């Protein structure tokens, strides 16, 4: 007997125990109950209505014969189905479905016979009509075998799963390729990137798998690519088990790896740095910072400003103009603090507004305000909440566009009245600063602000050039400021030299 036949014989012996149990139960419990039941019921029916003892005897005999016929049919249907050979043929048919060679069939049999308890799960199928059918699942290095379910046997060659994994990974790469090219064009360009920083539990599992017991927080490009190839070759399930990742948490492992790989390829980074933190750490840090429980060593506001500068650069804003508006807007904010009563965070938002107030002209010159709003809302500015992003976007929109009433704005937004008032105040200051460089020629070197009375704010601009255009169009920009603060700004030029 060859190895394959030995395995089939072992499987038939395994299911034979269950078959013998059902046969005994049918012959010694079910069949006698059917005979006794039919004899008693038919005999009793014959005696109903004053029947004689002879009628009772004939009825009981007829019931016994009917029960015998029912039992015979029952056993004729049941017993052939309980043959272990029948189950062996089902398994053999399942194996033939994979078109295995003789060598592969021998490998299958050897792995199944040598599988220990760690690679085998035995269970009992319960529920209506199940009769306690036994089942088992066996996982070997090259095959997965489920027995006892419906259909009775399911056999999977893991190499086929790995091949599907390769195709799946290739499909994900195709899907990502265009997005990655766009990412490189907009964000990377000619930058020389050596390190790629990654967060999350997956990259920590990968690092632990690559470096085993060593405490290392970097993975070289070559180490990652070697790991990726091993993952694709072995398949997601097998690698997740090796890495100690629960199956329910491994569903996104392959797509995540493909994204990491494509980022490495597009950026040209030589090292992956594992930061050892996740989203929960970020939420805890944010809470601690807002509650002033923790003072960060790194100035996060500089990161926000730098992110805004990069967005402005991407949309080709006039750098000299935005730098002047940024400086003038912040100066006006500081000098009018008693009027607006806003804090440090709102000052940062105004600075971002100044940097991005003209970005919409890249899309449409005649609808720059609305386009600027759309760009800001569609672009993630690192460090700003969604609410703050809405404040910035609406401030920029109101800077040169129509100012919406609160009710109109709230109909399409989650902004409350307090945020609306912040937007109006910032828009009034930004609009005023923008009016000081109407020609975009940066004629003004510096300004001085003073209150002349309760209703007038004088802005003296030091300049060496003609401010006729700025002075002529300044009242239009001053209207919003006056409406918000009940103070009328007035621009005066002071010639230098």
Same fold, 168-281 and 300-495: no
Q: Which of 77-81, 256-260, 488-492 has the lowest mean pLDDT?
A: 77-81
Query: Is pTM beyond 0.75 here?
Result: no
pLDDT greater at residue 135 or residue 327 = 327
Mean pLDDT of the chain: 85
373-380: Cβ within 8 A, 24+ apart: 373/397, 375/311, 375/315, 379/311
pLDDT at residue 305 is higher than 90: yes
115-170 pLDDT, tens digit per residue, is 877 778 777 766 555 566 788 888 887 788 888 755 678 888 766 766 666 777 88
175-210 pLDDT, tens digit per residue, is 788 788 887 777 777 778 899 998 888 888 899 999
HEC readout, 301-340: HHHHHHHHHHHHHHCCCCHHHHHHHHHHHHHHHHHCHHHH
- CA torsion sign for 428, 430, 433, 434 is negative
pLDDT at residue 85 is higher than 90: no
pLDDT of 491 reads 93
372-395 pLDDT, tens digit per residue, is 999 999 998 988 999 999 999 999
Each domain of the chain, given as residue ranges in start order, spans 3-123, 168-281, 300-495
pLDDT at residue 459 is higher than 60: yes
pLDDT of 150 reads 57
| Separation between Cα atoms, residue 405 and residue 410, nearest integer Å | 9
210-254 pLDDT, tens digit per residue, is 998 788 889 999 999 999 999 888 877 788 888 888 766 777 888
pLDDT at residue 344 is higher than 90: yes
pLDDT of 366 reads 87
For residue 393, which of 360, 367, 421 has the smallest C-alpha distance? 360
Residue 166, token pair as written in the block: 């390769």
Residue 288, token pair as written in the block: 């601690």
Tell me which fold the domain 300-495 belongs to: Hypothetical protein af1432 (1.10.3210)
Q: At the top level of CATH, which class does the domain 168-281 belong to?
A: alpha beta
404-417 pLDDT, tens digit per residue, is 899 998 888 889 99
pLDDT at residue 35 is higher than 70: yes
For residue 471, which of 496, 494, 455 has the smallest C-alpha distance? 494
pLDDT at residue 81 is higher than 70: no
pLDDT at residue 50 is higher than 60: no
Beta-carbon contacts of 228 under 8 Å, excluding residues fewer than 6 positions away, are 257, 261
- The answer to whether the CB of 43 falls within 8 A of the CB of 55 is no
């Amino acid at each position: 007997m060859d190895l394959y036949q030995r395995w089939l014989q072992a499987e038939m012996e395994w299911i034979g125990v269950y078959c013998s149990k059902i046969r005994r139960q049918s012959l010694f419990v079910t069949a006698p109950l059917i005979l006794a039941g039919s004899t008693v019921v038919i005999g009793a029916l014959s005696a109903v209505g004053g029947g004689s003892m002879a009628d009772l005897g004939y009825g009981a005999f007829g019931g016994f014969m009917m029960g015998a016929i029912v039992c015979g049919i029952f056993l004729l249907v049941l017993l052939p189905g309980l043959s272990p050979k029948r189950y062996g043929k089902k398994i053999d048919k399942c194996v033939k479905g994979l078109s295995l060679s003789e060598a592969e069939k021998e490998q299958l049999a050897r792995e199944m016979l040598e599988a220990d308890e760690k690679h085998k799960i035995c269970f009992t199928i319960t529920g209506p009509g199940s009769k306690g059918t036994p089942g088992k699942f066996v996982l070997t290095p090259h095959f997965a075998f489920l027995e006892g379910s419906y259909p009775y046997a399911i056999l999977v060659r893991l190499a086929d799963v790995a091949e599907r994994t390769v195709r799946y990974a290739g499909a994900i790469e195709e899907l990502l390729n265009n997005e990655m090219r766009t990412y490189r064009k907009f964000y990377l360009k000619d930058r020389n990137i050596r390190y790629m920083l990654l967060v999350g539990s997956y990259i920590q599992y990968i690092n632990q798998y690559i470096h085993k017991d060593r405490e290392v927080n970097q993975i070289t490009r070559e180490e990652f690519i070697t790991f990726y190839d091993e993952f694709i070759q072995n398949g997601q399930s097998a690698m997740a088990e090796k890495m100690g990742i629960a199956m329910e948490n491994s569903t996104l492992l392959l797509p995540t790896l493909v994204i990491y790989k494509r980022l490495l390829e597009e950026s040209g980074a030589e090292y992956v740095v594992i930061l050892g933190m996740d989203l929960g750490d970020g939420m805890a840090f944010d809470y601690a910072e807002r509650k002033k429980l923790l003072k960060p060593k790194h100035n996060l506001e500089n990161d926000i400003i730098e992110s805004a500068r990069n967005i402005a650069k991407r949309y080709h804003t006039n750098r000299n103009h935005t730098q002047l508006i940024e400086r003038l807007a912040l100066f006006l904010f500081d000098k009018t603090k008693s009027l607006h009563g806003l804090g440090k965070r709102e000052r940062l938002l105004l600075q971002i507004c100044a940097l991005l107030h003209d970005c919409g002209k890249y899309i449409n010159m005649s609808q720059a305000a609305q386009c600027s709003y759309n760009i800001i809302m569609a672009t993630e500015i690192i460090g700003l909440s969604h609410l703050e992003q809405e404040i910035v976007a609406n401030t920029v929109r109101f800077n040169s566009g129509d100012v919406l009433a609160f009710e109109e704005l709230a109909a399409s937004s989650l902004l409350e009245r307090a945020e609306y008032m912040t937007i109006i105040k910032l828009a009034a200051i930004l609009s005023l600063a923008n009016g000081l460089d109407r020609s975009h020629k940066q004629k003004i070197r510096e300004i001085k602000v003073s209150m002349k009375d309760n209703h007038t704010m004088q802005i003296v601009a030091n300049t060496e050039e003609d401010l006729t255009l700025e002075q002529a169009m300044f009242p239009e920009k001053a209207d919003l400021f006056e409406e918000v603060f009940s103070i009328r700004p007035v621009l005066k030029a002071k010639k230098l030299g």
